[in-house]
A and B are shown apart, each in its own frame.
Chain A
Amino acid sequence: MDNSKVDFTVPNDSLRRVLSDKRIKIKQMKKNINLRYKTSAILGFAIIFALVVFSCEPYEITYETSSDQLMGEYIESNADCSIFWNLAETTGNASFIKAYGTYTCFVPTNDAFETYFTEQGKSALTDFSEEELENIFKYHIINDTIRTQDFTDGKMRTSSMNGRYITTGASIQGTDAYYTINKKSLVTDADIMLGNGIVHKVNAVLDPPVKTVAELIVENDAYSIFSQALQTTGIYDTLMIADNWYTVFVESDEVYARENVNINSYDDLYNKYCNTGDPTDPADSLYLYMAYHCFKDCSYMADLIQKSATVTMAPNEVVTITDKSDSIIINQTTIAGTTYPGANIKEENSDNICYNGVFHELDDDIYIRVLSPTAVFWDPTRQPEIEALTGIYKDKIETITFASDDLANVSWGEPSRWSTIAYQGDGNCIDGDMLSIYLRTAVVPWIEFKTPVLIKGTYKLWVAYRRYGYGNTIQTSWNGEELTKLFDPSVWGQTYNNIDEDEYYALGYKWYTELNMSSSRVCCVYLGKIEVTSTGEQTLRFEALTNGRGYFWLDQIQFIPVDDDQLWPKFDSEGNKLYEEDLPDYYGGIEALAE
């Protein structure tokens, strides 16, 4: 064993990976020496481990590497991979895969190359241009060590050395499961750990993408209507730009021909949407319709499911992404009680790799919904994590405390371990519950909510709280902008028999509960007009300006379009809406109660 001393300067985040790689190497070394003398190897590992654990950032580790074979040596000595080795030599890359480094290399077998030559109408490497060969070689190698256990259903975490991504997955062939690369290439021998990285043998050459998203869509006959619209709107030219990444949701002629869509030609699409006569005008509805299908990054299926929504190339227009475990749905939304089903991505026609991105085919039409703003009465206890606590959520007896990490759609400042918020039952509140927030500068200095989906428009913002005995001054921000009105959740509400509703409204308050819940313990305060510039979830933030002993007991938040009735509906204890027309004699009722 000739041990060579090598300096590794390992960035913090890849430390674990390198360690585990080292461990594997040791494991294999062990195997090679003698199976029965493993103690010394384990001890050796323990020493290396100890060195690493106790060193400080940046991790400058000096340790012995074994005489493990290097990638270049492995490939060269493997008769089955001679064409790939040839490729490395021809392109002048043989030396670097024989030098130390951290690479992952997909090595196609000779059979794979023969098949590739046939597909390409060539007979040998010499029939390709130098540039093509360089591109093919560099597509097969990644400057990162990626084991199969890190493979996902999507693209590699690091691009290949030609700057393009390859995708991973797995499929069952007969009775055996294989990892797959770019869908069609099977990994036949995985995780071969070498001195300078990892080799995965594959049974088909990975064909580096050379065509753009624009070209690959237009080239497909199944997308003729969509393609024509890409061209007439000029978006085709955008999608040709090689330096950017794009993701496109494509609709096939078949989807357009369906009864609910009923678009049988480009002219039908033009007639349905084009409202200015010039589809290249970014304000034209056809242009917007097409731009709505595109966004600027490279999102494979596995990337899409990590997002809940993404802004499209149509200004301020968002598509939502819903992850059902058996499909991904684009634009399924519930707005004001109506659910729009959206379109599924067709798995078999998804993740189409292009030079500058990816496209996915949808099974239904998506379009920008023109919706008028609708009031949203939101109970902020309706957080999925709270609703999941079925026992508590239903009986509303137990108080349960959350830290900021616990709730996906709510975050707050946590200067101390007391900086928690609680879900709490309270009979004065709608639906019998509220969020208890100790909103003061020293405890929970601020809290931020993601709202339900609101439709583009102007709203009035109302906040309903259960009064607490001590108060703080609270600053509200809407999508990052501070509202001018401050409020204090220790202010008493007024009861029906104390003040006239119009008068109360003029003071910036209203009643939001039904009569028999009417008490001065709850209060609904008007905070100002807010703009929703883009349909979707918005950000609402409350910040304490003082440090009094006061809780913010939050019951309900109301977003009511400016032109709608601001006083009705009100709510009964179970959260049902009460409309004025159903309760014509409400004030009479108050008087009757007073008597």
Chain B
Amino acid sequence: MQKIRIIILLISSCFIFSCTDWMETEPTSTVISEDYWQSKENVESSLIAIYQSLQDDAVNKMFLWGEIRGDMLTDMDKISDNLLHILEGDIEETNSICNWSAFYNTINYCNTVIAHASDVLELDETFTQSELDAALGEAYGMRALMYFYLVRSFRDVPLVTWSYSTDEEEFFISKDKESEIYAQIIDDLIFSINNSYDAYGTNEETKGRLTSFAARAILADVYLWNDDFDGCLTQCDAIINSGQFGLIEGDNNWFSTMFGQGNCTESIFELNFDNSHTNPLYTLFDYDNHRQLCVSEKVYNDLFVIGKDTDTDSIDVRGDRASYRSSRSNSVWKYLGLNRSTVRSETESYCNYIFYRYSDVLLMKAEASILKGDNETALALINKIRDRANADDMTAQEPSDKKDFLEYLLNERAREFAFEGKRWFDVLRVSRHENNSYTNYLYRMVKEAAPAAKRNTVLAKYQDEDYRYLPIFIDELEVNPQLEQNPYWADASN
């Protein structure tokens, strides 16, 4: 976390790179310090900096932590060793994919706003209390989202709720329990829901910045992870009943509207990119040059299997030419395609990274409904998603018990949110429900995804619950003696 200091000094450089128009806020100072906080423009700039700080390493990690341990990606010939090791089930503390520093950087931005925005109230009379509350709501919400990524990936992590603004402070902090992290996340999100704006001045900002609805979507997800199904349903219903969102048509424009252009009516919250700051995920999937990852057989043989009698006009809109592209080396099309046919060049790789969209809310509601025994609601919601997408009947299931329903839900989520950084989190979350009652799906997944000669070895590792959370990256342990390595890697046995 020492790197935080360096980043603070570099904050000015973040401002120099503009993102979408609304991100083109001019910096007024080179260092964020006590005397930086003079006007409401400073507050606004600091809020924008939160999003800018996610555009490089953080978005990469959000995707990889949520996807790479799943079963939907496989290696291409130029894959990096770090990616390959995790893909093959070997996770080591020396693997920089486990480096969380980008998240603590962003958390520090949030904490800085939280600590200092109120100073401006006295200095700038155009800055109102309600604007301050909204700014705080946005910062609290983003902080919660960062911790949510950390807690799902690492379980226990250090909880930092104060800001660092000087280079002198020491950062020797120990880990806090998962339950304490979640308690903080929930507090932050409730504050955020009550104080954030419902919308901003432009559509780009409304989708690209945290709104009260985004906070609700995150909270619904958080509740689901904590088996608070009523809490989840309340938040989902609030979003559904707001009338602000809906499913877009599952036609030939589905892909270009949702992913090619982004910020569509179905979207609740997405990290925006534009041609001045491109999406780094492109370099994971680009099949011409970088050639690191492409889709696994599971995707085209199981998830989007096409029946022999399916005519080509009625195939699942989410499959070939949307989630992946079979004729382009089975590449991950969501980050490469401008539309169903045309590929982006590297300089055009500014598709957004979607955190939450309306269909996610519907399927979160379905999951909570299954666990509350309301199969009818769940099935209706799953079918709504399937019908919209023209899902192939070959992939329809007729679940009977809770376990089958959850498996159907996971399969449908895999189709709906393919490569949106959710697969591993989904499978892990479901496995945790009702005191780890649904681990079979996870076991089957990791076994099938493992290299053939290591299947049993990889399975045995994942049967150890501690292995389902990442190790703390070795550099962090070295700079902070208070940090204890996560149990699987700390045990002498491993």
How many angstroms between the C-alpha atoms of A541 and B467 in the bound complex? 49
A270 interface residue (CB < 8 Å to B)? no
Q: Mark B282-316, 1 if CB is under 8 A from A, else 0.
A: 00000000000000010011001110001010010
Q: Are B453 and A306 in contact (CB under 8 A)?
A: yes
B320 interface residue (CB < 8 Å to A)? yes
Say how far A460's CB is from chain B's closest CB, in angstroms.
31
Minimum CB distance partner of A401 in chain B: B327
Query: Which residues of B, 335-356, contact A by the 8 Å Cβ criterion?
Result: none
Q: Are A388 and B300 in contact (CB under 8 A)?
A: yes
Q: Are A169 and B488 in contact (CB under 8 A)?
A: no
Q: Are B452 and A169 in contact (CB under 8 A)?
A: no
A-B contact pairs, 8 of them (CB 8 A): A35-B478, A38-B478, A153-B457, A178-B494, A325-B455, A390-B306, A391-B306, A391-B315
A305 interface residue (CB < 8 Å to B)? yes
A151 interface residue (CB < 8 Å to B)? yes
Query: Which residues of B, 458-481, contact A by the 8 Å Cβ criterion?
Result: 458-467, 474-475, 478-479, 481
Q: Are B478 and A176 in contact (CB under 8 A)?
A: no
- Report the interface size class on chain B: 35 or more
Q: Could you tell me the dominant secondary structure of chain A's interface residues?
A: mixed
Provide the residues of chain A in CB contact with B94, threshold 8 Å.
24, 27
Q: Are A170 and B491 in contact (CB under 8 A)?
A: no
Q: Are A153 and B454 in contact (CB under 8 A)?
A: yes
Say how far A386's CB is from chain B's closest CB, in angstroms.
10
How many angstroms between the C-alpha atoms of A171 and B457 in the bound complex? 7
B326 interface residue (CB < 8 Å to A)? yes
Contact partner, B457, options A27, A170, A325, A388, Cβ 8 Å: A170
Query: Which residues of A, 383-435, contact B by the 8 Å Cβ criterion?
Result: 388-392, 394-395, 398, 400
Contact partner, B447, options A27, A168, A323, A325, Cβ 8 Å: A325
Minimum CB distance partner of A390 in chain B: B306
Q: Could you tell me the dominant secondary structure of chain B's interface residues?
A: helix
B194 interface residue (CB < 8 Å to A)? no
Say how far A395's CB is from chain B's closest CB, in angstroms.
5
Q: Are A323 and B494 in contact (CB under 8 A)?
A: no
CB-CB under 8 A for A35 and B326, given A172-B460, A326-B447, A391-B320: no
Say how far A55's CB is from chain B's closest CB, in angstroms.
21
How many angstroms between the C-alpha atoms of A335 and B382 in the bound complex? 41
Provide the residues of chain A in CB contact with B479, threshold 8 Å.
35-36
Among A38, A172, A400, which residue has the most Cβ atoms of chain B within 10 A?
A: A172
How many angstroms between the C-alpha atoms of A268 and B338 in the bound complex? 69
Provide the residues of chain B in CB contact with A326, threshold 8 Å.
447
Sorted nearest first, the 3 A-B pairs with minimum C-beta distance are A170-B460, A177-B464, A391-B320
Q: Are B457 and A30 in contact (CB under 8 A)?
A: no
Minimum CB distance partner of A16 in chain B: B81
CB-CB under 8 A for A151 and B492, given A177-B463, A177-B467: no
A302 interface residue (CB < 8 Å to B)? yes
Provide the residues of chain B in CB contact with A148, threshold 8 Å.
494
Provide the residues of chain A in CB contact with B321, threshold 8 Å.
391
Provide the residues of chain A in CB contact with B304, threshold 8 Å.
390
Of A112-120, A185-193, A444-452, the one with at least 4 CB within 8 A of chain B: A185-193
Say how far B437's CB is from chain A's closest CB, in angstroms.
15
Q: Are A395 and B312 in contact (CB under 8 A)?
A: yes
Q: A30-B478, A168-B457, A390-B326 are in contact. List 4 more A-B contacts (CB 8 A).
A: A302-B453, A388-B330, A391-B319, A398-B327
Q: Are A188 and B492 in contact (CB under 8 A)?
A: yes
How many angstroms between the C-alpha atoms of A338 and B436 in the bound complex? 43
Q: Are A172 and B305 in contact (CB under 8 A)?
A: no
Q: Are A177 and B306 in contact (CB under 8 A)?
A: no
Q: Are A305 and B464 in contact (CB under 8 A)?
A: no
Say how far B119's CB is from chain A's closest CB, in angstroms.
34
Q: Are A172 and B327 in contact (CB under 8 A)?
A: no
Provide the residues of chain B in CB contact with A169, threshold 8 Å.
456-457, 460
Provide the residues of chain A in CB contact with B452, threshold 8 Å.
302, 305-306, 323, 325
How many angstroms between the C-alpha atoms of A179 and B491 in the bound complex? 13
Minimum CB distance partner of A152 in chain B: B453
Q: Mark A6-31, 1 if CB is under 8 A from B, else 0.
A: 00000000000000000010010011
How many angstroms between the C-alpha atoms of A168 and B491 in the bound complex? 19
Q: Are B457 and A400 in contact (CB under 8 A)?
A: no
- Report the interface size class on chain A: 35 or more
A3 interface residue (CB < 8 Å to B)? no
B92 interface residue (CB < 8 Å to A)? yes
Provide the residues of chain A in CB contact with B241, threshold 8 Å.
none
Minimum CB distance partner of B477 in chain A: A35
Q: Mark A305-335, 1 if CB is under 8 A from B, else 0.
A: 1100000000000000001011000000000
Minimum CB distance partner of B461 in chain A: A177
Minimum CB distance partner of A177 in chain B: B464
How many angstroms between the C-alpha atoms of A149 and B464 in the bound complex? 16
Q: Mark A172-210, 1 if CB is under 8 A from B, else 0.
A: 100111110000001111100000000000000000000
Q: Are A190 and B494 in contact (CB under 8 A)?
A: yes
Query: Which residues of B, 63-102, contact A by the 8 Å Cβ criterion?
Result: 85, 90, 92, 94
Q: Mark B192-236, 1 if CB is under 8 A from A, else 0.
A: 000000000000000000000000000000000000000000000
Say how far A192's CB is from chain B's closest CB, in angstroms.
10
How many angstroms between the C-alpha atoms of A439 and B297 in the bound complex? 31
Q: Are B455 and A153 in contact (CB under 8 A)?
A: yes
How many angstroms between the C-alpha atoms of A176 and B494 in the bound complex? 9
Provide the residues of chain B in CB contact with A24, threshold 8 Å.
94
CB-CB under 8 A for A171 and B85, given A188-B493, A189-B493: no
Say how far B461's CB is from chain A's closest CB, in angstroms.
5
Minimum CB distance partner of A30 in chain B: B478
B448 interface residue (CB < 8 Å to A)? yes
Query: Which residues of A, 26-56, contact B by the 8 Å Cβ criterion?
Result: 27, 30-31, 35-36, 38
Q: Are B327 and A400 in contact (CB under 8 A)?
A: yes
Provide the residues of chain A in CB contact with B301, threshold 8 Å.
388
Say how far B12's CB is from chain A's closest CB, in angstroms.
25
Q: Are B463 and A389 in contact (CB under 8 A)?
A: no
CB-CB under 8 A for A389 and B326, given A177-B464, A326-B447: yes
CB-CB under 8 A for A152 and B454, given A31-B478, A178-B493, A390-B306: yes
Q: Are B453 and A171 in contact (CB under 8 A)?
A: no
A154 interface residue (CB < 8 Å to B)? yes
Provide the residues of chain A in CB contact with B320, threshold 8 Å.
390-391
Provide the residues of chain B in CB contact with A390, threshold 8 Å.
300, 304-306, 320, 326
CB-CB under 8 A for A172 and B457, given A389-B326, A391-B327: no
Provide the residues of chain B in CB contact with A325, threshold 8 Å.
447-448, 452, 455
Provide the residues of chain A in CB contact with B453, threshold 8 Å.
152-154, 302, 305-306
Provide the residues of chain A in CB contact with B319, threshold 8 Å.
391
CB-CB under 8 A for A170 and B85, given A149-B90, A177-B464, A390-B304: no
Say how far A390's CB is from chain B's closest CB, in angstroms.
5
Query: Which residues of B, 18-71, contact A by the 8 Å Cβ criterion?
Result: none
Say how far A590's CB is from chain B's closest CB, in angstroms.
32
